Amino acid sequence: MALTLYGISNCDTVKKARVWLGEQGVAYHFHDVRKDGLDPDRLKGWVEALGWEKLLNKSGTTFRKLPDAQKQGLDAASAIALMLDQPAMIRRPVVESADGISVGFSAADWQARFAA
């Protein structure tokens, strides 16, 4: 399985991750969840693997702008609905590779995981 990096092209963390992958010579495919869309079953798989709490970016502007009523009582189903409706609410980047799924970027972690 090739490495696929999911994110939004103008996200600073995604930019850092893509630069790091390029500098390390790690081949990857970039999927922009805002422009290219996101398959609901794929997102559900991420939630099953990582948990919706880890995937939902509660510190981002998009989430903070939500009415308080929408923020209260979140569960997996409502979080998935929010992330599908507004992909900017997904913490980024999400990486699928042969060794599993992860979210976020850490050069140290990625060095151990992806660098040859």
Catalytic residue list? 11
Looking at residue 28, what is its pLDDT?
95
Average pLDDT, integer, range 37-41: 95
Q: Which domains does the chain have, with CATH numbers?
A: 3-114 (3.40.30.10)
Confidence of residue 68 (pLDDT cuts 50, 70, 90): confident
Single pTM value for the model: 0.92
d(CA 51, CA 64): 20
Q: What average pLDDT does this structure show over 34-51? A: 96
Contact status, residue 7 vs residue 95, Cβ threshold 8 Å: no
Cis peptide before 67 (omega within 30 of 0): no
Q: For 45-58, give one letter per residue: b (16+ CB within 10 A) or e.
A: ebbeebebeebbbe
